[in-house]
Amino acid sequence: MRLLTRLIGQKLLLGLIMIGLLSSCSSVEVTDYKDTHPTLVLESFFNGPLKASGIVHDFSGKVIRKFNVTMEASWQGNEGVINEWFVYDDGETQTRVWRIKALEEGRYSGTAGDIIGTADGQSSGSALRWKYDMLLPVDGDEYQVHFDDWMFLVSDNTIINQSDIIKFGITVAQVTLVIQK
């Protein structure tokens, strides 16, 4: 019995150490990029015509879709509109119109027809992070998913966008998109 108690105690201690180590690992925050350049300002980059190409890959990393996007963006004061026209490799087309507001301290809010509620964005240095829920069409059905969307300005004319698509707390797919002026 004493040996069993000692083993349980050791396993409990090991478990507590593991929990401590895991909880000490922090996730990346947009402010981690505050000193990076060039500085991403949505009002500057998303102004005028843009083109983008992207891929969608599933949880295993397999590319399941490819697509191209034509965009037209404009700003009036702190309010912007980004029109997006998607063409997928299987011929499907999709349109989205973002309405974005520039807020204080590098924050943004945005809405679109398939976005549930409001998208919240925060920029810092060359990075911008969007978080939002979306109704995503898949094979004739719609699924509510969460997007954790990161944009990185790599040059004055190019953004690389990486998005995790999350359902029930699990990343089920990712989108990689290159946007160019």
Q: What is the pLDDT of residue 7?
A: 39
- Which residue in 151, 115, 116, 112 sits closest to 130, CA to CA? 151
3-state secondary structure of 12: helix
Q: What is the pTM of this model?
A: 0.84
Residue range 89-144, pLDDT digits in tens = 999 999 999 999 999 999 999 999 999 999 999 999 999 999 999 999 888 899 99
Q: What is the pLDDT of residue 139?
A: 84
Q: Read off the tokens for 126.
A: 């060359």
Instruction: Give the separation between CA 130 and CA 78, rounded to whole angstroms.
Output: 17
Instruction: Give the separation between CA 85 and CA 93, rounded to whole angstroms.
Output: 7
Instruction: Give the separation between CA 123 and CA 153, rounded to whole angstroms.
Output: 11
* Residue tagged 């004061």 (tokens): 77
Residue range 9-51, pLDDT digits in tens = 454 444 444 444 444 455 899 999 999 999 999 999 999 999 9
Q: Are the beta carbons of 173 and 58 closer than 8 angstroms? A: yes
Per DSSP, the residues of 17-70 read HHHHHHHH-----GGGGTT-SSPP-HHHHSSEEEEEEEEEEETTS-EEEEEEEE
Does pLDDT of 149 surpass 50?
yes
Q: Which residues pair with 66 in a beta bridge?
A: 55
